[in-house]
Chain A
């Protein structure tokens, strides 16, 4: 069964191993998530929350849960993955979520791009009953073996879990470093991280990329394999090396 593809949330989604009904369910899930979290659709819940005049906004259960995850990601990365931006004084601590009520400091804009793709890939994989994979814009969640191409060449076999890549190469888009509010000056071109879920891999890849020289050790301290590309040079951290060696030795 060859993978099927469609476009959603501004990226290509690739689905492997899904039956026709499961593929339809995956498409429907991405459709709902795009209508909820797109910063480009004026009628999306995200756009409406960002333009609401009140500082206190009632949000849907899905929206509330994703904001909750985003705040967890911000806490775990010391704000490197930050769902809030605006004036220099604004960061994730400007947000308060109580149930479905979201309170923002004046001038705070929500940006959930940092986690939505990974979460959607994880949720979509749950809709496939057997072995399969879902890639959302290069964030790959897999159950059963999938051969995944790596940035700069090469590939690996992802048997269970996820891979995500963060960096600056695609569309010359640059990551903003929340610590400075400016374009990241990371030494890396890209950082790829393997983790149990696409959400974890995506969040950790962004943090490790922004941490530049400290990225590999930051991942090692969390037991996460990381592969970094600096133009044509590839650097892997200890956890990545260990994971590959362990497999070869088995």
Chain B
């Protein structure tokens, strides 16, 4: 029984992941398409933040840097907040 259930679970999982991926692409693409048609957009792929399908985020060097026993800190250039 388990041998028949396991492939079914795998197929269901694959389908779910595909749907999730489609939803992600759908949300981003729809808004980006709308955005691409608004004034101010220069349709320059190289310079557009929409050239990738998602943001690229990474941790900063806040905390112990492991090199000279000190702590590194990068002061934020800008702050995201509610306005």
Contact = CB atoms under 8 A, between A and B. Distances in A.
B62 to A, nearest CB: 6
A147 B54 contact: no
Interface string A170-185: 1001000000000000
B40 A140 contact: no
Contacts of B77: 3, 16, 133, 146-148
Interface stretch (A47-55, A82-90, A104-112, A116-124): A116-124
Interface residues of B, number: 45
B41 to A, nearest CB: 6
A158 B55 contact: yes
Interface residues of A, number: 82
A247 to B, nearest CB: 4
A123 B78 contact: no
Contacts of B58: 156-157, 159, 243-244, 247-248
B79 interface: yes
A149 B62 CA distance: 11
Contact of B56 (A129, A139, A161, A221): A161
Contacts of B35: 69, 119, 122, 197, 199
Contact of A222 (B27, B78, B81, B83): B27
Given A141-B49, A194-B54, A194-B55, A154 B62 contact: yes
A203 B80 contact: no
A151 B52 contact: no
B31 A159 contact: no
Interface string B43-83: 01001111111111111101000000000001111111111
A122 B50 CA distance: 9
B23 interface: yes
A229 B53 CA distance: 25
Given A138-B80, A200-B31, A163 B55 contact: yes
Given A73-B31, A138-B80, 7 more contacts: A3-B77, A68-B37, A69-B35, A137-B83, A159-B58, A199-B31, A200-B31
